[in-house]
Chains A and B, each alone.
Chain A
Amino acid sequence: MEVNELYSLQKIEHIARGDQAFLRKMINLFLEQAPSSVKDIRQAYEKKDFAAMAAQAHRLKSALDTMAITSLQQDIRALERMDHEEAGTAEAGVLINKLETVIDQVVAQVRTI
């Protein structure tokens, strides 16, 4: 079992029930999807397309939950729920910065598996 403070593979390993091919597929999917979703969130924020931002946050949420990236679980939900007014504030920018940083770190670590 791979555990560290940024993420955990425990849940996905439980789902895989020892199926290494599935585990590898999911890891690759995370490496492919997570950075791209974060990028889409950033772009939507900058274009002030907050509906698209919320939709991207919604899509990313389950991957963060399953990978047990606990430091982002509240933040991704906050981004998903932000209304137009809230999304225009500095808070959204701070949350996205944090999202980018943590995801970069997790991706870097996961690549080493």
Chain B
Amino acid sequence: MDSYSIFIVEDDPWYGEILEYHLTLNPEYQITRLTSGSQCLAQLHKRPQLITIDYSLPDMNGKQLLQRIRSANPDLPVIFISGQEDVGTAVELLKMGANDYLVKDDHTKDLLWNSIVRIRENQRLKQEVEQLREELGQKYEFEKTILGSSAAMKRVFAIMEKAARTSINVSVTGETGTGKELVAKAIHYNSERAKKPFVPVNMAAIPADLLESELFGHEKGAFTGAIARKIGKFEEAAKGTLFLDEIAELDLNLQSKLLRVLQERELVRVGGNEKVKLDVRLIVATHRNLAKEVKEGHFREDLYYRIMGLPVELPPLRQRDNDVLMLAKSFLQEACKTNKLGPLQLSNSAKEMLKQYPFPGNVRELKAVIELAAVMSNGQEVTADDLHLNTVGGDNFLLSDAKTMKEYNIGIIRHLLKANNNNIQKVADILDIGKSTIYKMIQNKEIVLPV
């Protein structure tokens, strides 16, 4: 049984007795009766979970007491019970943060009962949200969120820490699948704004004609179908972080609207006149080269400088040294857990293959490859045969990164071996080279044939 401490501040012993008797019908409620405002303030250190206050107390009125309670504990629920119905006072008290205002009559005790039940439910939900936020914050600790010990990733972590400590705008760039949203979340959940919302918007996923109202909200009747006022993503992210993914996809018209909002730090909902002040941290991301987009006239230069802020450049997986194996092991463990499989290891041939493959789809592709391999694996090991690496992009990966001629040769031979069922003679014929060239590469472990 969870005990719940309630102070009843009531100078009328008769009414106080009735309230106490009624509330103690719930054995969880631990009641403390107090007869004045000063008594109540003196007992606040006992940390009541709710206070009911008779508005007219002998030493101070309800407003004065509420102000002093609020300065000591801004979140403590307070219910007023007044002998007189006074709408003006009720409104004023509710504006000051009172949770309810009840008038003493035959129904008060039942209304009070329901009000406390509602407040407790709210408190429980708030606690739950708080707990989940904390868990989320822990989940997004940099090292737990983004695995990597390569020099390139260490540089990224250092910039992310700087970003988390400030409220400066951040721009995250990197190829598709490098984890841009994850970086944005990690920055948010490690910043002072962690307890406020993180609101992601993918600009490429929302039709252009809906994007304005999605971002800035709209008033009722702003356009056909606007049946009620809608709060936009900027307002939704109040005091938190707004993550605009694929920012380069924004059309020029909306770019100028976004620029104005960022400059003015306020917005006007579509179809409205009211100016809404903003306190939002902006993180943007794109897989495109924004500077190039500016040069080509697709992206406004002034907006570019406004949003660029602190740039975080995520390296492609192929430039992250041994991170690929660290990530692969982690994804494999995760896949085994999710699919209720026994523990699996990566074979040497699989490791070698993963290290050699350029992963044009980056971490996202690696994850998909490993998940599939875990399911396809028949033993305790994931072998090279279980890895299906010739995914989207096909041969293009051969040219996806600057390489030496030798590395190109190895890449081409490896690709043809795979395409020709490891028939060395056939590959040698296709390339018009001697078989011995390929055998030498195998001997030197430059090429690993699947067992």
Q: Do they bind each other? A: yes
Q: Which residues of chain A are near B15, meaning CB under 8 Å?
A: 62-63
Q: Assess the B18–A59 pair: CB atoms within 8 A.
A: no
Q: Assess the B83–A22 pair: CB atoms within 8 A.
A: no
Assess whether A108 is interfacial by the CB under 8 Å rule. Answer: no
Q: Indicate with 1 or 0, residue by residue over A27-69, a CB within 8 angstroms of chain B CB atoms.
A: 0011001000000000000000000000100111111011000
A63 CB to closest chain B CB (Å) equals 4
Given contacts A26-B18, A55-B58, A58-B12, 4 further A-B contacts (CB under 8 A): A15-B18, A55-B56, A65-B105, A80-B83
A24 CB to closest chain B CB (Å) equals 12
Q: Assess the B14–A29 pair: CB atoms within 8 A.
A: yes
How many chain A residues sit at the interface, stated as a range, is 20 to 34
Q: Assess the B17–A62 pair: CB atoms within 8 A.
A: no
Give the docked Cα–Cα distance between A26 and B13 (Å): 10
B398 CB to closest chain A CB (Å) equals 84
Q: Indicate with 1 or 0, residue by residue over A58-88, a CB within 8 angstroms of chain B CB atoms.
A: 1111110110000000000000100000000
Assess whether B386 is interfacial by the CB under 8 Å rule. Answer: no
Interface residues in B, total, Cβ within 8 A: 16
Among B21, B83, B109, which residue has its beta carbon within 8 angstroms of that of A58? B83
Assess whether A25 is interfacial by the CB under 8 Å rule. Answer: yes
Q: Assess the A30–B56 pair: CB atoms within 8 A.
A: no
Assess whether A11 is interfacial by the CB under 8 Å rule. Answer: yes
Q: Assess the A29–B56 pair: CB atoms within 8 A.
A: no
Give the docked Cα–Cα distance between A63 and B15 (Å): 7
> Majority SS of interface residues in chain A?
helix
Q: Which residues of chain A are near B21, meaning CB under 8 Å?
A: 15-16, 19, 22
Q: Assess the A58–B17 pair: CB atoms within 8 A.
A: no
Among B11, B14, B56, B83, which residue has its beta carbon within 8 angstroms of that of A66? B14
Which A-chain residue is minimally distant from B25 (CB atoms)? A17
Assess whether B106 is interfacial by the CB under 8 Å rule. Answer: yes
Assess whether B196 is interfacial by the CB under 8 Å rule. Answer: no
Give 9 CB contacts A-B under 8 Å.
A15-B109, A19-B21, A25-B17, A26-B14, A29-B17, A58-B12, A62-B104, A65-B104, A65-B105
Q: Which residues of chain B are near A55, meaning CB under 8 Å?
A: 56, 58
Q: Assess the B106–A62 pair: CB atoms within 8 A.
A: no
Give the docked Cα–Cα distance between A65 and B12 (Å): 13
Interface residue ranges of B121-135 to A (CB < 8 Å): none
Q: Indicate with 1 or 0, residue by residue over B4-35, a CB within 8 angstroms of chain A CB atoms.
A: 00000001111101100110000000000000
B59 CB to closest chain A CB (Å) equals 11
Give the docked Cα–Cα distance between A16 and B15 (Å): 13
Interface residue ranges of B245-277 to A (CB < 8 Å): none
In order of increasing CB-CB distance, the 7 nearest A-B pairs are A63-B14, A62-B15, A59-B12, A62-B12, A58-B56, A22-B21, A62-B14
Give the docked Cα–Cα distance between A16 and B21 (Å): 8
Which A-chain residue is minimally distant from B81 (CB atoms)? A62
Q: Which residues of chain B are near A58, meaning CB under 8 Å?
A: 12, 56, 83
Q: Which residues of chain B are near A60, meaning CB under 8 Å?
A: 12
Which A-chain residue is minimally distant from B15 (CB atoms)? A62
Among A11, A22, A30, A33, which residue has its beta carbon within 8 angstroms of that of B106? A11
B19 CB to closest chain A CB (Å) equals 10
Q: Which residues of chain B are near A29, meaning CB under 8 Å?
A: 13-14, 17
Q: Assess the B58–A66 pair: CB atoms within 8 A.
A: no
Which B-chain residue is minimally distant from A61 (CB atoms)? B83
Which A-chain residue is minimally distant from B16 (CB atoms)? A62
